[in-house]
Amino acid sequence: MYRAVMPKIGTAQAWRDAARQFLAAGVPPEAILWGDTSTAPDLFGVASPMQTGGQVTVPRSFISMASSVVWHSDPERFARLYAFLWRLKDAPHLMTDRGDADLSRLRRMEKNVHRCQHKMKAFVRFREIGPPEAPRRSFAAWFEPTYHTVEPTADFFLRRFSDMDWRILTPDVCAIFEGGKLTFREGEEKPALPEDASEQLWITYFQNIFNPARLMVKAMQSEMPKKYWKNMPEAAHIPQMIADAPARARAMAEAAPSLPPARMAQVQAQLAAHQSAWEGPKDSLAKDIAACTRCPLHCNATQAVPGEGPMDADLMIVGEQPGDQEDLSGRPFVG
């Protein structure tokens, strides 16, 4: 029985080297005990064989997948990768077999690691730890990743913040970038980081871009899981922002200008064209209606049909054009 212990730092390269040696020596998966530095050593295991055999070619897609899966926290990840690699050397088509259960599990692990890396890029919050007048400013951040993603994600921060010194401290592995050199070391406990002068500015910005009318709590917590909130300064304000969202949304709606729909311009033009210009005395309105010839309806009508009732009535009933009975009698609503 062989034993392969993977280090916390440089895990991806260590696994590739060990897997290459085992594969070249023809060691089957069941003959290897994989583990990391947190795994208790096996008393009966021996180190991996220092043997190099013929070249083994595997699809590049497997190398890419393995480079992510090794950073998962599943203690069986190394064994699962090697077991699939053992099958893959004789059947390269397995990398495209969507029905393969082993591949499906590895793909889910790969996706989990990628998601954790995405969260790390989004939720790391730096605080300045050095004097601002120093030639090279220095920052530090505390983060608690779900998986071992500090090392594979460090290049992102290296490219983005190459003009300053920084350190990302976690319980697992810490990334240190000082003087243009990136190094890694074992994890540590959460340090007491100083307050940052620009932190309040960031919180003010975060509160002002929050749109209460579009709040979807479940969707927000899916993108910003609660487990990360304790290390994000702006997260302390999220519960109150959620509680105030309904009232703020109502206030926004009440303060919004009520613009008429586009069709109202046409409606108002039609209304103005047919609006009565009568400005005479009300007692002579019926006589003037009877003499009206402003529209073609008078051509075939016996007489006009004015309305009835008091001019100051609180309720008015409006009907369609007069029917034959109304036309003959000269009164509305008699048919």
What is the spatial order of strands in the sheet that 165-169 belongs to?
A: 127-128, 138-142, 165-169, 173-178, 181-186
Q: What are phi and psi of 311, to 5 degrees?
A: -70, -20
Helices assigned H by DSSP within the chain = 11-24, 60-69, 77-88, 101-123, 150-160, 199-208, 217-223, 238-255, 264-274, 285-290, 324-329
What are the pLDDT digits (tens) for 17-55? 999 999 989 999 999 999 887 654 554 455 556 555 556
Give the pLDDT score at 66. 96
Q: What is the mean pLDDT of the chain?
A: 87
Residue 129 confidence (pLDDT) above 70 = yes
Give the pLDDT score at 50. 54
Q: List the structure tokens of 296.
A: 């073609």
**What stretches of the chain adopt beta strand conformation (E)?**
2-6, 32-36, 127-128, 138-142, 165-169, 173-178, 181-186
Average pLDDT score over residue span 171-186: 95
Torsion of CA 86, 92, 97, 102, to 10 degrees: 10
**In 3-state terms, what secondary structure has residue 46?**
strand
Give the pLDDT score at 46. 57
What are the pLDDT digits (tens) for 114-126? 999 999 999 999 9
Give the pLDDT score at 257. 78
As a 3-state breakdown, the chain gives helix, strand, coil percent values, each rounded to 5, of: 45, 10, 45
Q: List the structure tokens of 179.
A: 């003087």
- Give the model's confidence band at 166: pLDDT under 50 very low, under 70 low, under 90 confident, else very high: very high
Residue with tokens 């709590």: 217
Q: List the structure tokens of 326.
A: 């109304």
Residues contacting residue 18 through CB under 8 Å, at least 6 positions apart: 4, 6, 48
Length of the chain: 335
Give the pLDDT score at 145. 95
Give the pLDDT score at 43. 45
Helices (H) and strands (E) in the chain, counts: 11, 7
The answer to whether 23 and 67 are in contact (CB under 8 A) is no
Please choose, from the candidates 141, 152, 188, the residue with its C-alpha nearest in 3D space to the C-alpha of residue 13.
Answer: 152
- Give the model's confidence band at 278: pLDDT under 50 very low, under 70 low, under 90 confident, else very high: low
Q: Which one has a higher pLDDT value, 68 or 228?
A: 68
Burial class (CB in 10 A: 0-12, 13-18, 19+), 312: exposed
Average pLDDT score over residue span 133-148: 90
| Number of Cα atoms under 13 Å in the Cβ half of residue 288 | 10
Helices assigned H by DSSP within 134-263 = 150-160, 199-208, 217-223, 238-255
Q: What percent of the chain has pLDDT over 90?
A: 45
What are the pLDDT digits (tens) for 209-260? 888 888 888 888 888 888 888 888 888 888 888 898 888 888 888 887 777 7
Q: Which one has a higher pLDDT value, 86 or 310?
A: 86
Q: What percent of the chain has pLDDT over 70?
A: 92
- Over its C-alpha atoms, the chain yields an Rg (Å, rounded) of 39
Give the pLDDT score at 299. 83
What are the pLDDT digits (tens) for 284-318? 777 888 888 888 878 888 888 888 888 888 999 99
Give the pLDDT score at 308. 86
Distance CA 178, CA 328 (A): 102
Give the pLDDT score at 198. 78
Q: Which one has a higher pLDDT value, 169 or 49?
A: 169
